[in-house]
Amino acid sequence: MTLISRRDLVIGAVGTPALLTVAGRAAGLGGEQLFTLGVASGEPSSDGMVLWTRLAPKPMQGDGGMPARAVPVRWEIHADAGLKRLVKAGQGIADPSLGHSVHVEVAGLEPGRPYWYRFVANGEASPVGRTRTAPAPGAAVDRLRFCYGSCQKYESGNYAAWRHAVADDPDLILFLGDYIYEGNPKPGSVRMHRNPEPTDLAGYRVRYATYRLDPLLQAAHAIAPWAVTWDDHEVQNNYAGALDEDNGDVAAFLKRRAAAYQTYFEFMPLRRTARPTGSSMHLYRTLDWGGLAQFQIIDDRQYRSGRSCQPPELLRDHKRSLDTTYDCADRTDPARSILGMPQETWLMDRLGRSRAGWNVLAQQTLMASYPQLDKKDPAAPPSRHSSDTWEGYAACRERVQRRWHDARTPNPLVISGDIHAFAATEHHLPDGTRVAAEFVGGSITSENHNALLKPAARLAGFAFAENEVRGYGRIDLTAKRAEVTFRGLANSADVNSSARDIARFSVEAGRSDIIADIPA
Ligand SMILES: [Fe+2]
């Protein structure tokens, strides 16, 4: 790994947009600032990455305040933070059909090193971002440091977590879902959503812009490449494939899903292979970090089978799907999959082929078994099951667990979001064979309403669970060991909140048991 000085970091993170005097301003664009939403990079490969921005002089408008025509945007990638050594440059197009977002796929760079980039449009330069290439295929890598987060409800807090993640100087950031929340503004929140619940393109654009205007979130995008996947709130709470949470009209929901997916693509540093077609978007993929690690980044929302254990009379009375249910036969029905069969087949293939030192399943919902307490009888053994996580698709979960074992996938780790809690637990086959460790990295801001989690998690044999502290996860991988740190905030409402290690764990290569090192 190339070492980067603290000074470079500061420049990379907070470089201010310098106004350039480039001749020929684009017609129809005034002197308003175009790069209000910052810059980002993502999808690092050994020779490149995606560079992202979106032109939006009026980000609280559905069209961003841009004219309805394409605008050329120059991009530059440099070998140094001071932008003295230009490596590559070119022209991208900010097209109105994609909300004037720009996704540049850079190739031909050197492996395993940092780069700095910016955009120039209409005579204005964007902030400077730092990114990096992944190491060469199969290369030995001393160490990979990545941070991961999920569930950043704007109304629930500020993004101090991102300030601390930036200070950790990660090589890579993974985001595991709930980048936005779709609900109506709620008076009395720490800070409020600025538009009603979105259902169309203009509405989702304003909602994403509300989040992306946050300077700490922008700084996190500007410090390292991201690899993202989504969960439910990027579209709607607890949706399952083509079913919305109210079991409403499928065609109407797919129309809404198409608007949400397109906006997600517009705002994320994704490759063009992810560009949505109608209500479909191909998000699952692998990301390789030399010979050290492969991330299998999956999508357990778009293709999942219908929810388990939803008796018709309950649906009729309740008018929406049930989050947790008592057990029933279809929860373990092998015909059901949380991934959909094409993605599941793809994942099995990857788990069989990968020879990377660590295989990190980067995904949205709690994967481990987690029976929940019954609110009506909290003293009884846990008897309720989530219909929204892998628990509701138990046969599919077991197929992945068996695959890790049977294919001898080297050192599987699972990282997860969704439950607004930190958690660490091990995965076992029914015969007790331990096959993987899972680390749920807390939530950036979103609160946990499930007061039953901690005792239930203890009963379910979790190594650790903490649902009252917000924050993020950090993992340092070497050939020998994964060191996992849960970083918790003193107060996620406070933009200046301190953070501390609330728990540390390690997993040794060749084993999958969690060794805890929990500070007092
Ligand atoms: Fe969430």
Sign of the dihedral through C-alpha 284, 52, 446, 180: negative
Rg value, the chain, Cα: 22
**Residue 244: burial class (beta carbons within 10 Å; 0-12, 13-18, 19+):** buried
Query: Which residues on neighbouring strands pair with residue 359, listed in sequence order?
Result: 294, 412
What separation in Å is there between the alpha carbon of 233 and the centre of ligand 1?
7
What separation in Å is there between the alpha carbon of 455 and the centre of ligand 1?
21
What separation in Å is there between the alpha carbon of 177 and the centre of ligand 1?
7
What separation in Å is there between the alpha carbon of 501 and the centre of ligand 1?
22
pLDDT of residue 310: 87
Written as one letter, the residue type at 414 is V
What separation in Å is there between the alpha carbon of 63 and the centre of ligand 1?
27
∠ CA 229-235-239, rounded to 5°? 95
What separation in Å is there between the alpha carbon of 52 and the centre of ligand 1?
25
CA dist., res. 242 & res. 357, Å (int): 37
What separation in Å is there between the alpha carbon of 419 and the centre of ligand 1?
6
First to last CA, the chain: 32
CA dist., res. 85 & res. 24, Å (int): 25
What separation in Å is there between the alpha carbon of 376 and the centre of ligand 1?
25
Q: Which three-class secondary structure string do you get for 454-466? A: HHHHHHCCCCEEE
Give, for all 520 residues of the chain, the pLDDT tens digit.
333 333 333 333 333 333 333 334 555 677 789 999 999 999 999 999 999 999 999 999 999 999 999 999 999 999 999 999 999 999 999 999 999 999 999 999 999 999 999 999 999 999 999 999 999 999 999 999 999 999 999 999 999 999 999 999 999 999 999 999 999 999 999 999 999 999 999 999 999 999 999 999 999 999 999 999 999 999 999 999 999 988 889 999 999 999 999 999 999 999 999 999 999 999 999 999 999 999 999 999 999 999 999 877 777 777 778 888 889 999 999 999 999 999 999 999 999 999 999 999 999 999 999 888 888 888 888 889 999 999 999 999 999 999 999 999 999 999 999 999 999 999 999 999 999 999 999 999 999 866 667 778 877 889 999 999 999 999 999 999 999 999 999 999 999 999 999 999 999 999 989 999 865 4
Tell me if 355 sits within 8 A of 412, measured CB to CB.
Answer: no
What separation in Å is there between the alpha carbon of 364 and the centre of ligand 1?
9
pLDDT of residue 316: 75
Question: Which residue matches tokens 């020879």?
Answer: 355
Q: 207 CB contacts (<8 Å, ≥6 apart)? A: 180, 182, 193, 195, 198, 263
pLDDT of residue 217: 98
What separation in Å is there between the alpha carbon of 350 and the centre of ligand 1?
28
The strand pair at 172-175 and 144-149 is best described as parallel
pLDDT of residue 25: 56
What separation in Å is there between the alpha carbon of 478 and the centre of ligand 1?
30
State the DSSP string of 13-74. HHPPPPBP--S-PPTT--SS-S-TT-EEEEEEETTEEEEEEE--SSTTSTTTT--SS-EEEE
What separation in Å is there between the alpha carbon of 245 and the centre of ligand 1?
15
Q: Please choose, from the candidates 244, 237, 228, the residue with its C-alpha nearest in 3D space to the C-alpha of residue 179.
A: 228
- Encoded tokens for 146: 């990545």
What separation in Å is there between the alpha carbon of 151 and the centre of ligand 1?
4
What separation in Å is there between the alpha carbon of 356 and the centre of ligand 1?
30
Q: 232 CB contacts (<8 Å, ≥6 apart)? A: 177, 178, 238, 239, 301, 388
pLDDT of residue 320: 78
What separation in Å is there between the alpha carbon of 154 and the centre of ligand 1?
11
Q: Cβ–Cβ contacts within 10 Å for residue 381, how many?
A: 10
What separation in Å is there between the alpha carbon of 171 and the centre of ligand 1?
25
- Encoded tokens for 315: 């649906």
The strand pair at 324-326 and 124-125 is best described as unpaired
What separation in Å is there between the alpha carbon of 259 and the centre of ligand 1?
20
Sign of the dihedral through C-alpha 417, 419, 423, 425: negative
